[in-house]
């Protein structure tokens, strides 16, 4: 309940209201193992998902075996929301557990049909959902900015400048293979380019951290 209460979806909703809401909506908590699908392309959407624990990739698998990672879902965030207010009747991407995960499933009907009391917390939930939709739309826009660039070096620079903190440090939430899928390149190509950029003094790579050493030069790559 603590993790649910802290989620963006339930912002400004009290614990008591949240408990009533979960009961009213007939929400369910499910668990999946790493590598399992929460949903797949072609299936009919009917629920909104909130990630309580673990990590999930929103991705698109192709018959060739290639996987395009659209974005990573962290704990406390929702997924499957693109289909909630739209007219699409089938998923066009997959949701895959990166690690063992726990998720909350909320039936769509709860968002479309207010209860007879027209509860204030139900209205707050709808407002929170609209804010999340806006944020996630921005995430997809950033991904489009990355993959439409002309070079791998530029893709790395754009991604890094968005990922680093005030110290110039980016803590990796993906392994090298997953990062390559996210950037839309082969893993060997990504590794070679990172090593070249490190030799040139642009960045420093360790197992789970990349440090930007020359932010001005990195920004110049994005122009």
CATH number, domain containing residue 197: 1.10.10.10
Give the residue-averaged pLDDT of 195-219.
93
Instruction: With beta carbons less than 8 A apart as the criterion, state whether 76 and 3 touch.
Output: yes
Q: Which two tokens stand for residue 82?
A: 């693109």
Find, among 78, 206, 223, the residue nearest to 161 by Cα: 223
Write out pLDDT tens, residues 15-32: 888 888 888 888 999 999
Q: Give the pLDDT of residue 68.
A: 85
Q: Give the pLDDT of residue 65.
A: 80
Q: Please give the span between the terminal C-alpha atoms of the chain, in angstroms, as a whole number.
A: 45
Greater model confidence, 180 or 115: 180
Instruction: With beta carbons less than 8 A apart as the criterion, state whether 71 and 143 touch.
Output: yes
Q: Are residues 84 and 99 in the same domain?
A: yes
Write out pLDDT tens, residues 123-154: 888 888 888 888 888 878 888 888 788 799 99
Q: Are residues 27 and 112 in the same domain?
A: yes
Under DSSP, is residue 64 helix (H, G, I), strand (E, B) or coil? coil
- Please check the confidence at residue 112 and state whether its pLDDT lies above 80: no
Q: Which residues contact 10 (CB under 8 A, 6 or more apart)?
A: 4, 18, 21, 125, 128
- Please check the confidence at residue 55 and state whether its pLDDT lies above 60: yes
Whole-number average pLDDT of the chain: 88
The CATH number of whichever domain residue 42 belongs to comes to: 2.60.120.10
Q: Are residues 139 and 70 in the same domain?
A: yes
Q: The whole model's pTM is what? A: 0.73
Q: Give the pLDDT of residue 113.
A: 65
Q: How many domains is the chain built from?
A: 2
Q: Which two tokens stand for residue 12?
A: 């400004």
Q: Which residues pair with 39 in a beta bridge?
A: 95
> Residue 187's domain spans which residues?
150-221
Q: Give the pLDDT of residue 119.
A: 66
Q: Are residues 51 and 126 in the same domain?
A: yes
Instruction: With beta carbons less than 8 A apart as the criterion, state whether 48 and 81 touch.
Output: yes
Q: Which residues contact 208 (CB under 8 A, 6 or more apart)?
A: 171, 172
Inter-axis angle of helices 15-25 and 120-147, nearest 10: 80
Q: Are residues 139 and 217 in the same domain?
A: no
- Please check the confidence at residue 118 and state whether its pLDDT lies above 60: no
Tell which of 85, 117, 146 closes a domain: 146
């Amino acid at each position: 309940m603590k993790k649910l209460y802290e989620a963006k979806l339930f912002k400004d909703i009290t614990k008591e209201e949240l408990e009533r809401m979960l009961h009213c909506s007939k929400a369910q908590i499910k668990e999946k193992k790493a590598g399992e699908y929460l949903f797949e392309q072609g299936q009919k959407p009917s629920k909104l998902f909130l990630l309580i624990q673990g990590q999930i990739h929103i991705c698109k698998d192709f018959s060739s075996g290639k996987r395009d990672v659209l974005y990573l879902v962290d704990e406390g965030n929702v997924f499957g929301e693109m289909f909630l207010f739209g007219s699409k009747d089938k998923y066009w991407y997959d949701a895959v557990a990166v690690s063992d995960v726990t998720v909350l499933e909320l039936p769509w009907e709860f968002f479309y049909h207010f209860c007879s009391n027209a509860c204030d917390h139900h209205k707050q939930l709808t407002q929170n959902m609209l804010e999340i939709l806006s944020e996630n739309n921005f995430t997809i826009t950033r991904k489009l900015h990355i993959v439409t660039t002309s070079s791998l070096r530029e893709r790395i620079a754009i991604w890094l400048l968005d990922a680093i903190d005030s110290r110039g440090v980016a803590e990796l939430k993906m392994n090298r293979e997953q990062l390559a899928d996210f950037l839309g390149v082969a893993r060997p190509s990504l590794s070679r380019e990172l090593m070249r950029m490190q030799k040139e003094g642009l960045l420093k790579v360790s197992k789970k951290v990349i440090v930007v050493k020359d932010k001005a030069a990195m920004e110049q790559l994005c122009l």
